[in-house]
Amino acid sequence: MKPSLLLLLGCTAILAAHARADTPREPEALVKKVQEYAQKVSAVAKSAIGTVQDSEAMQQARRWLSDNTEMMKERLAWLKERLDELWKQAHPA
């Protein structure tokens, strides 16, 4: 999960816990509820990240990147050479 989403969830948890507190004089209960909710959110986020990292699509993407990295480097080098040639033709010394 993105940090901004986690921050939003955390703020929502604080507001929800505050709204659920029996009286304003129970800050310990509020803190406990926020901590419990933060732990739940953290567990869900870790689970989601683990699921994405372990997914077949992610594994295929990693394999594709590792298999094609060298080819991409070669193509970028070729493109750089061509751009250098065009630059030299456009701006002779």
* Inside any domain, residue 68: yes
> What pLDDT sits at residue 84?
93
* Inside any domain, residue 35: no
- Which of the four pLDDT bands, split at 50, 70 and 90, describes residue 25? low
The region of weakest confidence among 6-10, 36-40, 71-75, 83-87 is: 6-10
- Which of the four pLDDT bands, split at 50, 70 and 90, describes residue 1? low
State which residues form the domain around 72: 56-92
* Inside any domain, residue 87: yes
Phi/psi region, residue 62 (left: phi>0; alpha: psi -120 to 50; beta: rest), is alpha
How many independent structural domains does the chain possess? 1
**In the structure encoding, which two tokens stand for residue 40, read together?**
């739940």
**Rounded Cα distance, 12 and 4, in Å:** 12
* Inside any domain, residue 84: yes
* Inside any domain, residue 62: yes
* Inside any domain, residue 63: yes
The b-or-e profile of 46-77 (16+ CB within 10 A means b, else e) is eeeeeeeeeeeeeeeeeeeeeeeeeeeeeeee
> What pLDDT sits at residue 91?
84
